[in-house]
Structures are given as C-alpha cells and as structure tokens.
C-alpha cells in the first residue's frame, strides 16, 4: 500500500502577521480558499486516500490542523512531542507504518508547498514509486532550477545514468548554497532543486536509519516498546534525539538514491515577496486583493480584508493587515519579517506571536 | 468690546483618515489631548472670553464642534448654510456684531492653527488691537518666513514705515507663490507669511465690504432683514454669494492696512509630513507614537493606537491607522492624500469620507 506522510510541523514566522505560532504557513490560504495543507491532502488523495495518510506534526498544532481536516481520524495524526527536524519524524512515521504494513511504500510530502498541476504531479510520484519498487531505491523529486536560488537545497544527478523508470541516479545532495555556488550549480546543468519529497519502501528507510543513524534507530525501537499512556517517557526519548534533516542524516550517506525530474510547477513559497511574485498584478504592478485605494502606488502587495487601505506615493511595499496586527515591509526585506517576530519574542509580545 | 471670530468651516482632506467630512482638521487632537479648535478657544480666552466668541462654521459641522466646546451657547455659533470662503463668512460675523456692539473690534482667527506660546500670541493681538484703535487700520499678523513655503500666502510690508504701535504698513498681499517666487520673497526680506488672522473694528470692515464688494454687502443687508424662521431664504441668499477670500476680496484693495510681526511660533500644519516634522523623533528619525515594532525603519511617522504595526525595511512613510481605514503615504507625497479622498468621493465610498 502507498502511504502519504505529510510533514506539517513547520513553525515559519516569515508570513507574520497572517502566520502565527498556532497557525503556521501550512495552515494559511495564501492562494485560493483552501490552506496549503488542505491542498496537499487533496492533491495526493488519488494516490493515497485519507485512510492511508499520516500527518506528522507537533502538539501545538495538531488540534488546529485537525480542525482544517475534519475528515481525518485521530489515527491519521502522528504527534511529535517536540520538533526534531525531518529525520526523526520520518523515522517515527516509518516505525509506525512498519507495524501496520511492513511491505508498504511511503510518499513523504511537505505540507506547505505550492503545486498547481495535479496530474503531472501524480504522474511523477507514480514514476518515483515505480523506481522504488524496481530496485528499492531511495527516490526524491528534483525541480529544474530557473534561477540561482539560495533558499533551497540542491541535488546533483548523473544525466547519463538513467534507470528503466526514467529516474536518474543521484551523485550528491548539497545544502542551501551561497549565491556564487548557486550560480555555478545552475550553469552546470546537472543540479536540481531539492523539493523535500521522498518516495521509498518502509523497510528500506528503516534499514537506512539503522545503518546511518544507529542512535536514532535505537531511540525509535525504545519508543516502539512504550505503552500509549507512557507519554512522559515518549517525550523524554524523543526530546533526546538529535535534531537533523533526512537529507543530511540519511540521503547524503546512502547508496542507490534516485531522482525523478518534476514535470509540474512547484514553489516552496518562502516569504511575502514570493507571494507577490506569484500573484496576478494590475497595470501598475500592484496586487490589490480587496479593492483598496491606490494613488501613485507601484509594485505593492496589499492584503487587508477588514480595513480600507489607501496607498499614496509608495512602491515595493507588502501590506498585510490582520485583525490585530499590521505588517508594512519593503519587498526586498521580506526575509526580515522573522526579525520582527524575533523582536516580539524577546519582548514577550505573546499575543502577537 | 473685543470679539473673537473663529473661522471653523474648513473641510481639509489632507489629514485623512483621521480627518473626515464630519471631523475636519480643526477638530483633531494631532498634538496633545485637545483639538485644535479647543486650543484656539482656550488660547484667546484671556482677551475674548467665551461669551464674546463667535464660531463661524457650516451646518455639517456645528453639532460636533459644539460637542467639543460644551461651555459655549447656541448664540456663540454662526452657521453658514454652505461654505463660501472667508470674505462672506467674515461679513456675516461683522453684520451680526454690528447689531450687538457697533463700536466693537473683531479678532478673526482660523480654528486650525498650531501656536504653542500663549503670552507672546496675546501680546501680538494686543499690539494689533492698539493699531486698529489708533487709526482704524485693517490689521493682520505676519509670520517671519523660515523657508520658501509654497503653501502659504505672503504679505509684503514697508520696513521703513512703522506705526506708533509697532505695526508696519502693508505694501501688498500675494497669493500662494510658486517655488521660484517663494525663494525670491524669502530673499527680499520684506515678505511675511500671511497667518490668516485679522484685527479690525466692526464698523471699518463693514465699510470696506460695502466699498470693495458691494454685491456681498447687499446680500448681507438682505440677510439682516430676514426673520429667524426664514431658513430657506437665508440659504438661497448665502448660496448666491460669490466664494472669495477676504485677502483677495478686501485686503488687496484696501488702504491703511497694517501688519504686526508675530513674536510667537506658528504653523498652519498642512499635512502629515508637517506633523512628522514638528514631532519629537527617535534615533532613527521615527515618530513611534504607540510602541510599534520597527526593523530597519527610518524617518517614519506611525500612529496606530488600536493595532500593532511592524515596519520592516522601509523609510519616509506616514502610517495612520484608524478604526476603519489605513493610510500608508510617502512623506514627500503627503499633499496627495487629498487625491485619495477625491478618489473615494468619485467612487461613492461615503463611509470613509
């Protein structure tokens, strides 16, 4: 059976004030009426229906995510006591799936990505599943880069070593590069963006964890022996695990890793400037979501559903007006929204976090 | 007796969204806790107590102004059916005062100016009253210019022709100049800003209206004959009067006009950029009235009492956030706020006007 494992523990602060501690990016409906996680669940449902879906998230978020996905059952949620990056939570999901379906396959998907074309997306996942079935590869989805992005990790592949399924052999994984390196990656032609999606058999990923991360494997085995009421022990064991990504902890060290090139449009929208970039604009380059008053305003993004905004003589601004807080940010400083959130954390402005 | 005549019919839209149709600039407490008209009434009270005060305003505003000044009586208000600039409303006030105190003097003051020093202000008015009493001059208060302002009218005076009271003879009045002309006025040394304050006897100003603006005088005499219940006739007569300023309609044509140089700080705060200029600032040049979150923000003015604002990577912005509307304006475009108001008028966005 195919199991969708949705990684939904993210705490991104770069979409403040729309995103909050209890409403991170994956729960926002930045585009359209559904939230990113609702879209993610819906998009994968033809391959893995809700009963074969496992949402991995944190205690802080599980209740509100469940409210957005009322069709799911408690059994569809796997709750981390604390966040420990992707390797431990993928290990936890694999351990749970091993109990119920040891011959199963996992499709690991981040909950907060933007993918508009469903059919080519499902086709790529099917190709990745074929690859994993054929030779038990660890398979990833790679995105053809369009610019020297420094916000994503990269995957180098062998253009000449193609598997029967159409997937390519992977040479290596690279962390988020600096700009010069990103330019070199783009020019080389054999680097793809790392989408953070993984496809593999439950048995294979657990074997890789056992060999590459024996401490994590040991902790998972201890957790497996706990009773359901041993919450405190679970918390202690999980908290003791080293925080590490699956890319770094497993993929970089594993052999027989393959990548399927995505044939669908994809973005890991990282901040408001990217939302602006992806939105339809008027003649002056403005994204005016609620019919606000613009006088000599250019290249601005305005989202203020409950209060009229008038922009006069400004440009390149992002304006996000929510019930209790207003962000006014230069588009070139969209990454610095997290600095405002950090300031509020330092000053105990909890009601705005 | 001395009568204060407060001109409070202004409809300024450049302080939107704080200023609205029913709450123009004179009713705002831009600095401190009192509104500009409350400060104006209080400032003049040692010279003209409330019972000798006449507030000239429009039907739209009289109720809310009266609410801000509960000590005044209905008799202290003179209500224009429609706005017709300063000459007609000063004529109306003079006509009314002629009936009750034909030997009286008028001190005409705009309701919306900012004057911080009370004693020198009263001293200047006393000097102006002395001048008017000595030779029945029409007296104005002139402000020593500090920069080539294009938003004020100017008064040219004879530095060599000083009256016993200390006032100077006026050569001419000039409308708001263009920038080159304003620079020339400033360099010449014998131009002052026109403060819009006037001091004269009731008898003299009515005589000037009769000779310079006979049509206005005739209309005022007709209005004088009306009964109190002849509201419709009053409206028709007043509406038929030509809209014209006292500067242009009377002062430019009159002889024996004098100016007292102001020895107090004065500003006719015209827009939010001037409010910024007059406000105390922090190290980054920001006016942060409510403890908002500033990340790489410089030279901004933020007034948002009920909603947190975070500014990230922006400069030279004015941010005015009220219960139903938000203005974000570049400081260099503060004059264009009225364009936003005009847009809302054209689009029948009445609830925001």
In this prediction the ipTM stands at: 0.85
Instruction: Answer whether A330 sits within 8 Å of B314, measured CB to CB.
Output: yes
| Res B181: pLDDT | 97
Tell whether A245 and A285 lie within a shared domain.
no
pLDDT-derived band at B10, boundaries 50, 70, 90:
confident
Q: Can you tell me the distance from the alpha carbon of A36 to that of A267, in angstroms, rounded to the nearest whole number?
A: 12
Residue B122 pLDDT > 80:
yes
Domain total in chain B: 2
**Structure tokens belonging to residue A74:** 């408690």
Instruction: Answer whether B343 sits within 8 Å of A295, measured CB to CB.
Output: yes
| Res A13: pLDDT | 85
* Mean pLDDT calculated for residue range A323-350: 95
Tell whether B277 and B256 lie within a shared domain.
no
User: Tens digits of per-residue pLDDT, B20-68?
Assistant: 998 999 999 988 889 999 999 999 999 999 999 999 999 989 999 999 9
Residue A32 pLDDT > 90:
no
| Residues 6 or more apart in contact with residue A293 via CB below 8 angstroms | A308, A309, A310, A311, B340, B343, B344, B349
pLDDT-derived band at A95, boundaries 50, 70, 90:
very high
Residue A12 pLDDT > 80:
no
Instruction: Answer whether A321 sits within 8 Å of B326, measured CB to CB.
Output: yes
Tell whether A27 and A173 lie within a shared domain.
yes
* Mean pLDDT calculated for residue range B171-175: 93
Domain-ending residue, one of B267, B286, B306:
B267
Instruction: Answer whether A313 sits within 8 Å of B326, measured CB to CB.
Output: no
User: Tens digits of per-residue pLDDT, B282-309?
Assistant: 999 999 988 999 999 999 999 999 999 9
pLDDT-derived band at B269, boundaries 50, 70, 90:
confident
Give kind and range of the element (H or E) at residue A273: helix A272-278
Burial class (CB in 10 A: 0-12, 13-18, 19+), B119: exposed
Residue A269 pLDDT > 90:
no
Q: What is the percent of chain A where pLDDT is above 70?
A: 100
* Mean pLDDT calculated for residue range B145-170: 94
Q: Which residue has the higher pLDDT, A280 or B10?
A: A280
Tell whether A330 and A238 lie within a shared domain.
no
Instruction: Answer whether B307 sits within 8 Å of A293, measured CB to CB.
Output: no
Establish how many alpha carbons lie within 13 A of residue B250's alpha carbon, considering only the half-sphere containing its beta carbon. 33
Nearest to A95 by CA among A270, A227, A216: A216
Tell whether B260 and B119 lie within a shared domain.
yes
* Partner residue opposite A307 with nearest CB, options B293, B326, B332: B326
Question: With contact defined as beta carbons under 8 Å apart, do A42 and A20 qualify?
Answer: no
Residue B262 pLDDT > 90:
yes
Tell whether A134 and A249 lie within a shared domain.
yes
pLDDT-derived band at B228, boundaries 50, 70, 90:
confident
Q: Which of residues 275-334 of B touch A (CB under 8 A)?
A: 293, 295-296, 304, 307-314, 317, 319, 321, 324-330, 332-334
Task: Tell me if chain B has a CB within 8 Å of the CB of A340.
Answer: yes
**Structure tokens belonging to residue A103:** 């011959």
pLDDT-derived band at B101, boundaries 50, 70, 90:
very high
Average model confidence (pLDDT) across chain A: 95
Tell whether A239 and A311 lie within a shared domain.
no
Nearest CA in chain B to A327: B310
Residue B100 pLDDT > 80:
yes
* Mean pLDDT calculated for residue range B129-148: 96
Tell whether B27 and B155 lie within a shared domain.
yes
Domain-ending residue, one of A267, A295, A311:
A267
Buried b / exposed e along A278-302 (16+ C-beta atoms within 10 A): eeeeeeeebbbeeebbbbbbbebbb
**Span between the terminal Cα atoms of chain B, in Å:** 40
Residue A6 pLDDT > 90:
yes
Average model confidence (pLDDT) across chain B: 95
| Res B348: pLDDT | 94
Domain-ending residue, one of B212, B241, B267:
B267
* Mean pLDDT calculated for residue range A241-250: 94
Residue A270 pLDDT > 90:
no
Residue B258 pLDDT > 80:
yes
Tell whether B308 and B179 lie within a shared domain.
no
Range of A33's domain? Answer: 2-267
Tell whether B168 and B203 lie within a shared domain.
yes
Alpha-carbon distance A54 to nearest alpha carbon in chain B (angstroms):
37
Tell whether B157 and B302 lie within a shared domain.
no
For residue A333, list chain B residues with Cβ-Cβ distance below 8 A: 295-296, 312-314
Tell whether A135 and A201 lie within a shared domain.
yes
Instruction: Answer whether A308 sits within 8 Å of B336, measured CB to CB.
Output: no
Residue B170 pLDDT > 90:
yes
**Structure tokens belonging to residue B128:** 């102006």
Q: Can you tell me the distance from the alpha carbon of A174 to that of A149, in angstroms, rounded to the nearest whole number?
A: 13
Task: Tell me if chain A has a CB within 8 Å of the CB of B337.
Answer: yes
Instruction: Answer whether B317 sits within 8 Å of A319, measured CB to CB.
Output: no
| Res A60: pLDDT | 87
* Mean pLDDT calculated for residue range A231-250: 94
Q: Can you tell me the distance from the alpha carbon of A326 to that of B322, in angstroms, rounded to the nearest whole number?
A: 12
Buried b / exposed e along A68-78 (16+ C-beta atoms within 10 A): bbeebeeebbb
CATH number of the domain enclosing B154 = 3.90.550.10
Which residues make beta-bridge pairs with A325?
B308
Instruction: Answer whether A312 sits within 8 Å of B296, measured CB to CB.
Output: no
Residue A10 pLDDT > 90:
no
Residue A31 pLDDT > 90:
no
Q: What is the percent of chain B where pLDDT is above 70?
A: 100
Residue B12 pLDDT > 80:
no
| Residues 6 or more apart in contact with residue B303 via CB below 8 angstroms | B18, B289, B290, B319, B320, B321
Task: Tell me if chain A has a CB within 8 Å of the CB of B191.
Answer: no
Residue A219 pLDDT > 80:
yes
């Amino acid at each position: 059976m195919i199991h969708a494992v949705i990684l939904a523990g993210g705490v991104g602060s770069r979409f403040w004030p729309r995103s909050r501690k209890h409403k991170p990016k994956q729960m926002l409906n930045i585009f359209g009426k559904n939230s990113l996680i609702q879209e993610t669940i819906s998009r994968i449902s033809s391959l893995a229906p809700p009963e074969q879906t496992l949402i991995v998230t944190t205690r802080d978020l599980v209740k509100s995510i469940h409210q957005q996905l009322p069709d799911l059952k408690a059994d569809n949620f796997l709750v981390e006591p604390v966040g420990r990056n992707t390797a431990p939570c993928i290990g936890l999901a694999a351990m749970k799936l091993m109990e119920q379906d040891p011959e199963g396959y996992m499709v690991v998907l981040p909950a907060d990505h933007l993918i508009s074309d469903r059919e080519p997306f499902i086709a790529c996942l099917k190709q990745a599943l074929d690859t994993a079935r054929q030779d038990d590869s660890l398979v990833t989805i790679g995105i053809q880069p369009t610019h020297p992005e420094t916000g994503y990790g990269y995957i180098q592949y062998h253009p000449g070593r193609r598997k029967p399924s159409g997937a390519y052999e992977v040479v290596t994984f690279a962390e988020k590069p600096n700009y010069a390196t990103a330019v070199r990656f783009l020019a080389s032609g054999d680097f793809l963006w790392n989408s953070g999606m993984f496809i593999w058999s439950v048995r294979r990923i657990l074997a890789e964890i056992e060999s590459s991360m024996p401490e994590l494997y040991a902790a998972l085995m201890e957790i497996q022996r706990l009773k359901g009421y041993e919450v405190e022990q679970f918390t202690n064991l999980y908290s003791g695990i080293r925080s590490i990504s699956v890319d770094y902890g497993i993929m970089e060290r594993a052999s027989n890793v393959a990548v399927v090139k995505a044939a669908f449009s994809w973005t890991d929208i990282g901040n408001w400037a990217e939302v602006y970039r992806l939105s339809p604009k008027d003649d002056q380059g403005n994204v005016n979501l609620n019919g606000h008053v613009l006088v000599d305003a250019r290249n601005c993004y305005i989202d203020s559903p409950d209060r009229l905004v008038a922009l006069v003589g400004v440009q390149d601004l992002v304006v996000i007006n929510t019930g209790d807080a207003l962000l006014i940010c230069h588009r070139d400083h969209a990454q610095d929204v997290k600095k405002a959130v950090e300031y509020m954390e330092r000053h105990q402005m909890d009601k705005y976090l």
